[in-house]
């Protein structure tokens, strides 16, 4: 998932349903025609499952709050049943409540066996959700921190070479 959901993740002119189903159009296509019923049904399930507030399958994705836009992106990605998620700043530009929901969603994915690679600039958020932290410098791992030692101070020290 990209860092900038509006510029790089969402299809502005498409509905919530189309944004969710975009990653798996084959599920709703029959003989080169999109089955809007199948697309809407899948969108309803994800809207309910991820509690995407204010969303309707035919509504505009841009009418949603930032957190609910981000949940729509999560729905698109999770609909593919991935084994690994690459998440770049998944809580960027959302309110505190949405951040908590999104971080909980990342944890649920990890608990279900999905590998989650998360890049977060908020070190407190990062420390709250990780099993381990790999600190990279110039493309190389310079430090690995386990869950017990992954706190904002230790991560910051590892980033700046105070080992």
Enter the pTM of the model.
0.84
List of long-range contacts for 150-158, beta carbons under 8 Å, 24+ apart: 150/126, 151/127, 152/123, 152/124, 152/126, 152/127, 155/123, 155/126, 155/127, 156/123, 158/133
Residue-range domain boundaries for the chain: 5-121
Q: pLDDT value at position 30?
A: 57
pLDDT 10s digits, 83-94? 999 999 999 999
Angle 16-87-76 from CA coordinates, rounded to 5°: 25
Topology, domain 5-121 = Rossmann fold (3.40.50)
Using 50 as the pLDDT threshold, list the residues of the chain that sit under it: 163
Distance CA(6)–CA(107), nearest Å, equals 24
Q: pLDDT value at position 26?
A: 61
Q: pLDDT value at position 137?
A: 81
């Amino acid at each position: 998932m990209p860092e900038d959901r509006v510029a790089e993740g969402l299809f502005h002119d498409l509905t919530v349903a189309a944004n969710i189903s975009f990653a798996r159009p084959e599920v709703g296509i029959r003989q080169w025609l999109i089955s809007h019923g199948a697309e809407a049904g899948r969108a309803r399930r994800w809207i309910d499952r991820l509690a995407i507030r204010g969303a309707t399958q035919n509504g505009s994705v841009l009418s949603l709050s930032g957190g609910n836009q981000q949940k729509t992106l999560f729905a698109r990605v999770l609909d593919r049943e991935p084994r690994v998620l690459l998440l770049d700043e998944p809580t960027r530009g959302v309110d505190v409540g949405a951040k908590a929901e999104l971080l909980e969603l990342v944890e649920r994915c990890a608990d279900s066996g999905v590998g989650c690679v998360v890049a977060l600039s908020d070190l407190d958020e990062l420390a709250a959700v990780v099993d381990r932290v790999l600190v990279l410098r110039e493309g190389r791992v310079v430090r690995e921190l386990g869950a017990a030692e992954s706190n904002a101070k230790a991560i910051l020290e590892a980033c700046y070479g105070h080992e």
